[in-house]
Structure 1
């Protein structure tokens, strides 16, 4: 009797609509998703067609779990990848990928530099990146463009030169970018990146379609203020610069930012959702 009930349950799982099967799989972590292959012949290879995949390898992960793994998924649309160590896993073909969330402090050993690593995600429409460790090799210009990318989310430290250079390398390759969200790490500023320094990193076609800039968790460091001033003075179709924190005082650098000549007549500055007029 129990065997018949188990068989009936498997049959019900096998007869589920494809959309519901996919919904079940994307709610499981990768290990449990793979285990569903034991349910029935119908489910044997379903996990290989996942549309959403989250991979997290925290410190302490046994290398044997992921060493030399190749991640290829023809139907994958959303990928989250978190790792603080290079376990040797590789990304193969991801032709349908639309959104990638990458938090990797390293440059994979098999890659020439971090730029080649990012090339695996060149066709995404939305990209979230936590800036890698300072010692990774990031070229001044990437050997590709993010031709579909509309929205970019970055977590970086405005107090370090490597983080700022990393951001500008990305921006030079995002020619169709419409929105950028930057979460600033609260670390003391170790060098000065004033407007003149940042302007030297700017290229004539950078951010030509950029409409919104959202700044989060900023500490009102001089480098953060200089970057916001640069966006206002360079982004020709910018509509909104939205800062989630209101400044404690409107000192000279902030007033200078607010009163600078804006490249877009439609550009507005919001502090906590409220517009500031100067």
Structure 2
């Protein structure tokens, strides 16, 4: 009688635990879960990975997110990305509380409500002290809790179409000031109701700054000696040229500037500015004079790009580039 063949060895199961972990953390969530079917020892291995990235596609049912956060028993979530629709808007607070236990490093939340309104964010967002990157779009920012310690590890902050509470400029100032490692700040159409006090936004390590705003919030920044790139687009500039000149003076160390509005005279020079992109309305004398004002203050410019602003306010055809 022939001896029964021995079962082939399970090579996946024989891999060192560290190697198994290294393989799975490189997969997205869906593929990591599917590996449970590959081997007996790989069954549900994703639940205890050393780090996991959670990126949920648009339309994901809230119960799926609940299940993943409940079943994962590992120590760290590197990314939590989700489109917030009507079905999951009420679950955000619970998810943020759960993520605070996993030392989440990156949050990316974008509102997609049918009502086209902004979803309500909760104060639990301010308890995520391990955040390195925070992107919020189409949401209402809650008031800062008493004793807010800040984001000691935050390096990148993106706020797009968000609404701050009344007199929220002080809150924005506090968030940025208490993020000492912040080097990238993007603010697009941020709405801050109430008064705009003469406060100063302190971000000494900032290297990249973008502001796109239809409102004049009297933006004032402290010294930005590390700044390398600035994109400032404010539709309604301050009425007094001196005020805006003081504002621009904070960017004297910048190395690249894009679409910056300015007055006709500047009391300083952009010595480090090497690359400049301007959008000019050649039907407006103010726009033309502003262009020459900027060029006179850029003695070491190496690359210049000028685009024509159309009647709709958009930048279209490119006149050309000089290097």
Normalising to structure 1: TM-score of the pair?
0.63
2:143 corresponds to: 139
CA-CA distance at 1:98 after TM superposition = 5.9
1:242 matches 2:229: yes
Cα deviation, 1:136-180, whole Å, max 9, x if unaligned, reads 6x114564323532412213238x655993870762572423313
Q: Check the 8 A contact 1:175/1:209 in 2, yes or no.
A: no
Q: Check the 8 A contact 1:80/1:101 in 2, yes or no.
A: yes
Q: Equivalent of 2:210, from 215, 221, 237?
A: 215
Q: Determine the C-alpha separation between the residues in 1 that align with 2:192 and 2:129.
A: 31
Q: Any unmatched runs of 5+ in structure 1?
A: 108-112
1:35 matches 2:38: no
Q: Which protein has the bigger helix share?
A: 1
Residues 48 and 155 of structure 1: CA distance in aligned 2, closer, same or farther (over 3 Å): same
Normalising to structure 2: TM-score of the pair?
0.56
1:101 matches 2:73: no
- After superposition, where does 1:181-196 map in structure 2 within 5 Å? 181-185=185-189
Count of matched residue pairs: 243
Q: Check the 8 A contact 2:230/2:254 in 1, yes or no.
A: no
- After superposition, where does 1:51-200 map in structure 2 within 5 Å? 51-59=51-59, 61-67=60-66, 70-71=69-70, 73-84=73-84, 85-86=88-89, 88=91, 90=95, 91-92=97-98, 97=103, 99-103=105-109, 105=111, 106-107=119-120, 114-119=122-127, 121-124=128-131, 126-134=132-140, 138-141=142-145, 143-157=147-161, 162=165, 165=168, 168=172, 171=175, 174-185=178-189, 197-200=195-198
Residues 163 and 68 of structure 1: CA distance in aligned 2, closer, same or farther (over 3 Å): farther
Residues 87 and 64 of structure 1: CA distance in aligned 2, closer, same or farther (over 3 Å): farther
Q: Determine the C-alpha separation between the residues in 2 that align with 1:68 and 1:30.
A: 13
Q: Determine the C-alpha separation between the residues in 1 that align with 2:28 and 2:147.
A: 34
1:110 corresponds to: none
Greater relative contact order structure (CA < 8 Å, 6+ sep): 1
Q: Check the 8 A contact 2:54/2:77 in 1, yes or no.
A: no
Residues 221 and 100 of structure 1: CA distance in aligned 2, closer, same or farther (over 3 Å): same
Q: Determine the C-alpha separation between the residues in 2 that align with 1:173 and 1:142.
A: 16
Q: Any unmatched runs of 5+ in structure 2?
A: 112-118, 259-273, 277-293, 299-323
Q: Check the 8 A contact 2:56/2:82 in 1, yes or no.
A: yes
Q: Check the 8 A contact 2:126/2:150 in 1, yes or no.
A: no
Q: Check the 8 A contact 1:176/1:207 in 2, yes or no.
A: no
